[in-house]
Amino acid sequence: MESILDIRGLEKTYSGGVQALRGVDLAIRKGEIFALLGPNGAGKTTLIGAVCGLVRPTGGTMHAFGLDIAKHWKTARRRIGLVPQELSFDMFDTVIRQVRYSRGMFGCPPDEAKVEEILRSLSLWDKRDAQIRQLSGGMKRRVMIAKALSHDPELLFLDEPTAGVDVELRRDMWRQIDALRARGVTIILTTHYIEEAEEMADRVGVINAGEILLVDDKDAMMAQLGRTEAHFELAEAMAEVPTSLSAYPLHLEKDGQSLVYRGGDGTGKGKREIAELAQELTRQGIGFTGLDTRESTLEDIFVDLVHQREEEAA
Ligand X SMILES: Nc1ncnc2c1ncn2[C@@H]1O[C@H](COP(=O)(O)OP(=O)(O)O)[C@@H](O)[C@H]1O
Q: Which residues contact 159 (CB under 8 A, 6 or more apart)?
A: 44, 45, 48, 82, 83, 84, 85, 189, 190
Indicate which of Mg ion, ligand X, none lies near residue 277 (CB less than 5 to 8 Å, by partner kind): none
Residue 196 or 273 with smaller CB distance to Mg ion: 196
Residue 296 touches Mg ion, criterion: CB under 5 A:
no
Task: Please state the three-class secondary structure of 58-123 as a single string.
Answer: CEEEEEECCEECCCCHHHHHHCEEEECCCCCCCCCCEHHHHHHHHHHHCCCCCCHHHHHHHHHHCC
CA 141 to CA 127: how far, in whole Å? Answer: 13
**Nearest alpha carbon to residue 197 among 39, 34, 81:** 34
CB of 204: closest distance to Mg ion in angstroms?
17
CA 239 to CA 64: how far, in whole Å? Answer: 59
Looking at the DSSP bridge assignments, the partners of residue 33 are: 187
Indicate which of Mg ion, ligand X, none lies near residue 69 (CB less than 5 to 8 Å, by partner kind): none
CB of 47: closest distance to ligand X in angstroms?
7
CB of 159: closest distance to ligand X in angstroms?
7
Q: Name the one range near Mg ion by CB under 5 A: 78-86, 101-109, 140-148, 265-273.
A: 78-86
In this structure, how many other beta carbons lie within 10 angstroms of the beta carbon of residue 87? 13
Q: What are phi and psi of 220, to 5 degrees?
A: -65, -40
CB of 249: closest distance to Mg ion in angstroms?
36
Residue 223 or 303 with smaller CB distance to ligand X: 303
In this structure, how many other beta carbons lie within 10 angstroms of the beta carbon of residue 311? 8
Q: Name the one range near Mg ion by CB under 5 A: 79-87, 212-220, 228-236, 247-255.
A: 79-87
C-beta separation of 97 from 175 below 8 A: no
Indicate which of ligand X, Mg ion, none lies near residue 102 (CB less than 5 to 8 Å, by partner kind): none
Residue 207 or 222 with smaller CB distance to ligand X: 207
CA 214 to CA 206: how far, in whole Å? Answer: 5
Residue 45 touches Mg ion, criterion: CB under 5 A:
yes
Indicate which of ligand X, Mg ion, none lies near residue 14 (CB less than 5 to 8 Å, by partner kind): ligand X
Residue 162 touches Mg ion, criterion: CB under 5 A:
no
CB of 33: closest distance to ligand X in angstroms?
18
Residue 42 or 155 with smaller CB distance to ligand X: 42
Which positions touch ligand X (CB under 6 A)?
Answer: 14, 16, 18, 20, 38, 40-46
Instruction: Please give the helix or strand (H or E) that residue 182 lies within, else none.
Output: helix 167-182
CB of 9: closest distance to ligand X in angstroms?
17
CB of 189: closest distance to ligand X in angstroms?
12
Indicate which of ligand X, Mg ion, none lies near residue 43 (CB less than 5 to 8 Å, by partner kind): ligand X
Q: Name the one range near Mg ion by CB under 5 A: 12-20, 38-46, 193-201, 256-264.
A: 38-46
**What's the farthest any 2 CA atoms get from each other in the chain?**
79
Residue 102 or 191 with smaller CB distance to ligand X: 191
**Edge-first strand listing for the sheet containing 250-253:** 250-253, 258-263, 228-234, 288-295
Residue 38 or 270 with smaller CB distance to ligand X: 38
